[in-house]
Amino acid sequence: MTVQQLHNCGAVWRETVPVQEVFEGRTIWQGEVEVFDLNGHPKAKRAYGWSHKEGKDDSDEKFVTVLEIPPVTSAESAVKVAIVAEVRGGRNDH
């Protein structure tokens, strides 16, 4: 499981949450976010994960995981933080 490998802890799938992120009246991201309960992580009790197409002709798939560490408190805020990090050229996995 990707979440377990990335964050070196146990992860149990909890639910799938549909998320639509709208900015200035336009949908900039829409998809399903998988929510995982973590055990053994020193800072987070939950993680959020999803994938999206990218690259030339959307031929590549990028996996994103975000830990539930404030300001991340929900699937929606995880998507927002990841979008901001991507725009700023940062990493998406926290």
- Residue pLDDT, tens place only, 58-94: 778 888 999 999 999 999 999 999 999 888 885 445 4
Of the two residues 60 and 38, the one the predictor is more confident about is 38
Question: How much is the pTM?
Answer: 0.82
Residue pair 48/35 in contact (Cβ under 8 Å)? The answer is: yes
At 83, give phi and psi (nearest 5°): -65, -45
Location of structure tokens 């020193």: 42
Q: Which of 11, 5, 81, 79 is nearest to 45 (CA)?
A: 11
